[in-house]
């Protein structure tokens, strides 16, 4: 250094960039081998390489910095209700649609489309989660359109198309489309039965019964989608309707965007409040059957909540691993410090367990004709959504702490950690918060054969770990004795832990499965990450979880 230089920069880690997110994700590879052994991995490998590139990381950063802007009117005073996005948002959307993460699984191009799509969705979440909202909603609503054959004939093929076209124009002029949902209102939230939006029948055409919708939606996410499924009241009760942004004659539907939400995170995605002023919509299914239909769609988006949080966990862990492998403290890398080893290994266990449970849940959607898999979808959807998402915020805070002050700063590669931290609470809230999930589990378990199905799910792992066996033995009696709701969260937690442990016993190395069972089930653990027992094989667990 010369006399004017105050210091040189050293001991600052290089960013985590230019790597294949899929090839380095060993827990995901093992989960896919277990749940879909015949799955062709080449498309996921290609996606993993694309998502780990500097170019895509730049798109993710720009889409979050340059947030959506609402234009209610053009410069001449005409109502347009358009949201303007940064070009990087559209680049990300094009990549996600091109990877088939939206409506493509329903076309059944491969034997296990939902598992393949789940893995891709998880990988994409590592790059940028918020713009996946319209991708997830397109996935969820596609099968519901089958209840209106006229609509499905026209819209189904374009929902499965891998072409992304962001322009607002008639369906006939678009190579591919996306869809959203509008369910909650100011006065109701999760209690959609309290909705006041009204639907009045007008006539019938090629898309079935046409109505006019008048009312509002309090959370109307991704308002630039081509169409939405919404709930509105009819004389027969709450019903489901298909509401396009652009009508077949090319005119704009009467959907007025009032404002965009100023959210904690999820910045690249536009969440809005809207009003319907006699907007044209078509009935999907039967009048008065809106609640069952929305519950079916909610199952799909709740799967994505579990997948998304698992992906965020993996990315946060990767950033922590990357930092601690390069950062020196007290004469050696942080990753070699005993306490840091404990923290990283503990985070790795949580991340792998989340991945295992989320991919297992996706397998159930690939086997709807299997009675056991149908029950597993019913039970594990609220369980995975509840537990994985609840763990996410604690996980992100601990991973951020591994980076110290660098993790709290918004800029640069390590600034991704701050974005992850803000994003984590959303999946726990969206599509039903923790109490809703715990209550939904109770409803699922009250089916006569649910207890036997859960026992069957745990059976292959029995005899490998005493703590797991004790929990599996206790669960049936606890389920049968559950007379009130007050302990429903604890039951959801324990079902999640039992299934996660059983999966890890079957898919993970003994060091991982043993440490998970000893800590989460056996009590050899504290009340914070980094409190594993001293007998854990920290080095093996950390080596398995490294992103390089």
Contact predicate 141/227, CB 8 Å = no
Distance CA 347, CA 350 (A): 5
Contact predicate 17/413, CB 8 Å = yes
342 band by pLDDT with thresholds 50, 70 and 90: very high
Contact predicate 358/437, CB 8 Å = no
Q: Which residues pair with 231 in a beta bridge?
A: 240
Distance CA 457, CA 503 (A): 9
431 band by pLDDT with thresholds 50, 70 and 90: confident
371 band by pLDDT with thresholds 50, 70 and 90: very high
pLDDT at 189 (0 to 100)? 74
Residue of 281, 253, 297 whose CA lies nearest to 151: 281
- What's the rounded mean pLDDT across residues 29-54? 97
How far CA 183 is from CA of 75, 231, 298, in Å, comes to 32, 6, 11
pLDDT at 424 (0 to 100)? 97
Contact predicate 122/360, CB 8 Å = no
Contact predicate 498/468, CB 8 Å = yes
Sign, CA dihedral 215-219-222-228, equals: negative
The pTM score is 0.96
Tens-digit pLDDT profile for residues 157-169: 999 999 999 999 9
1 band by pLDDT with thresholds 50, 70 and 90: low
pLDDT at 334 (0 to 100)? 96
Domain boundaries, the chain: 26-159, 178-289, 292-545
13 band by pLDDT with thresholds 50, 70 and 90: very high
Distance CA 201, CA 40 (A): 48
Distance CA 475, CA 458 (A): 11
- What's the rounded mean pLDDT across residues 277-285? 97
For residue 40, pLDDT beyond 80: yes
Average pLDDT of the residues of the chain: 95
φ, ψ of residue 68 in degrees (nearest 5):
-60, 150
Domain 178-289 architecture: Beta Barrel (2.40)
DSSP for 167-184?
S---GGG-S---EEEE--
Domain 292-545 architecture: Up-down Bundle (1.20)
Distance CA 23, CA 378 (A): 31
Q: Strand 79-84 relative to strand 69-73: parallel, antiparallel, unpaired?
A: antiparallel
pLDDT at 193 (0 to 100)? 83
Contact predicate 163/92, CB 8 Å = no
Tens-digit pLDDT profile for residues 308-334: 999 999 999 999 999 999 999 999 999
For residue 148, pLDDT beyond 90: yes
Residues in the chain: 548
pLDDT at 190 (0 to 100)? 73
- What's the rounded mean pLDDT across residues 211-236? 96
How far CA 313 is from CA of 78, 350, 527, in Å, comes to 45, 8, 19
How far CA 153 is from CA of 143, 150, 163, 209, 318, in Å, comes to 12, 5, 18, 16, 43
Q: Would you give the distance in Å from CA 326 to the centre of its chain?
A: 31
pLDDT at 109 (0 to 100)? 84
pLDDT at 192 (0 to 100)? 83
Contact predicate 417/316, CB 8 Å = yes
Helix axes 290-326, 113-127, angle to 10 degrees: 50
Tens-digit pLDDT profile for residues 60-115: 999 999 999 999 999 999 999 999 999 999 999 999 999 999 999 998 888 999 99
- What's the rounded mean pLDDT across residues 231-260? 96
Angle at 54 between CA 41 and CA 59, to 5 degrees: 95
Residue of 100, 93, 111 whose CA lies nearest to 36: 111
For residue 3, pLDDT beyond 80: no
Q: Phi-psi region for residue 111, left (φ > 0), alpha (ψ -120 to 50) or beta?
A: alpha
Q: Strand 227-234 relative to strand 179-182: parallel, antiparallel, unpaired?
A: parallel
């Amino acid at each position: 250094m010369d006399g004017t230089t105050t210091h040189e920069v050293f001991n600052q880690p290089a960013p985590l960039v230019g790597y294949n997110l899929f090839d380095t994700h060993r827990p995901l590879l093992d989960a896919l081998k277990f749940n879909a052994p015949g799955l062709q991995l080449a498309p996921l490998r290609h996606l993993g390489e694309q998502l780990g590139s500097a170019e895509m990381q730049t798109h993710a950063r720009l889409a979050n910095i340059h947030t959506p802007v609402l234009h209610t009117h053009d410069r001449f005073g005409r109502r347009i209700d358009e949201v303007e996005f940064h070009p990087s948002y559209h680049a990300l959307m094009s990549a996600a649609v091109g990877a088939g993460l939206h409506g493509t699984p329903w076309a059944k191009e491969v034997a296990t489309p939902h598992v393949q799509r789940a893995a891709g969705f998880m990988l994409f979440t590592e790059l940028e989660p918020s713009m996946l909202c319209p991708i997830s909603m397109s996935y969820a609503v596609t099968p519901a359109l089958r209840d209106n054959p006229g609509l499905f004939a026209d819209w189904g093929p374009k929902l499965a198309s891998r072409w992304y076209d962001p322009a607002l124009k008639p369906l006939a002029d678009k190579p591919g489309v996306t869809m959203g949902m509008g369910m909650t209102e100011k006065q109701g939230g999760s209690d959609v039965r309290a909705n006041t939006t009204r639907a009045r029948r007008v006539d019938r055409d090629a898309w079935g019964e046409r109505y006019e919708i008048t009312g509002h939606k309090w959370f109307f996410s991704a308002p630039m989608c081509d169409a939405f499924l919404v709930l509105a009241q009819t004389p027969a009760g709450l019903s489901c309707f298909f509401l396009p942004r652009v009508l077949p004659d090319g005119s704009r539907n009467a959907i007025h965007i009032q404002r965009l939400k100023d959210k904690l995170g999820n910045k690249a995605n536009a969440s809005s409040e809207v009003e319907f002023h006699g907007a044209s919509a078509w009935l999907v299914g039967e009048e008065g059957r809106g609640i069952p239909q929305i519950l079916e769609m909610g199952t799909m988006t709740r799967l994505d909540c579990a997948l998304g949080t698992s992906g965020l966990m993996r990315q946060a862990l990767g950033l922590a691993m990357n930092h601690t492998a390069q950062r020196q403290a007290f004469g050696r890398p942080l990753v070699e410090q005993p306490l840091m080893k404990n923290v990283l290994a503990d985070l790795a266990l949580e991340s792998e367990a989340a991945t295992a449970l989320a991919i297992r849940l996706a397998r159930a959607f690939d086997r709807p004709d299997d009675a056991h898999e149908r029950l597993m979808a019913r039970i594990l959807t609220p369980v995975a959504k509840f537990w994985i998402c609840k763990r996410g915020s604690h996980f992100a805070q601990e991973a951020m702490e591994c980076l110290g002050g660098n993790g709290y700063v918004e800029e640069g590669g390590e600034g991704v950690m701050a974005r992850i931290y803000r994003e984590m609470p959303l999946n726990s809230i969206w599509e039903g918060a923790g109490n809703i999930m715990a209550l939904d589990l109770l409803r699922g378990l009250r089916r006569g054969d649910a207890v036997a199905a859960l026992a069957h799910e745990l059976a292959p792992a029995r005899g490998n770990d005493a703590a797991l066996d004790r929990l599996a033995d206790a669960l049936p009696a606890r389920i049968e004795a559950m007379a009130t709701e007050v302990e429903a969260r604890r039951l959801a937690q324990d079902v999640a832990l039992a299934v996660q442990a059983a999966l890890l016993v079957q898919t993970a190395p003994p060091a991982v499965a043993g440490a998970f069972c000893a800590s989460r089930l056996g009590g050899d653990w504290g009340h914070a990450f980094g409190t594993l027992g001293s007998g854990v094989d920290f080095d093996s667990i950390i080596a398995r979880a490294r992103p390089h």
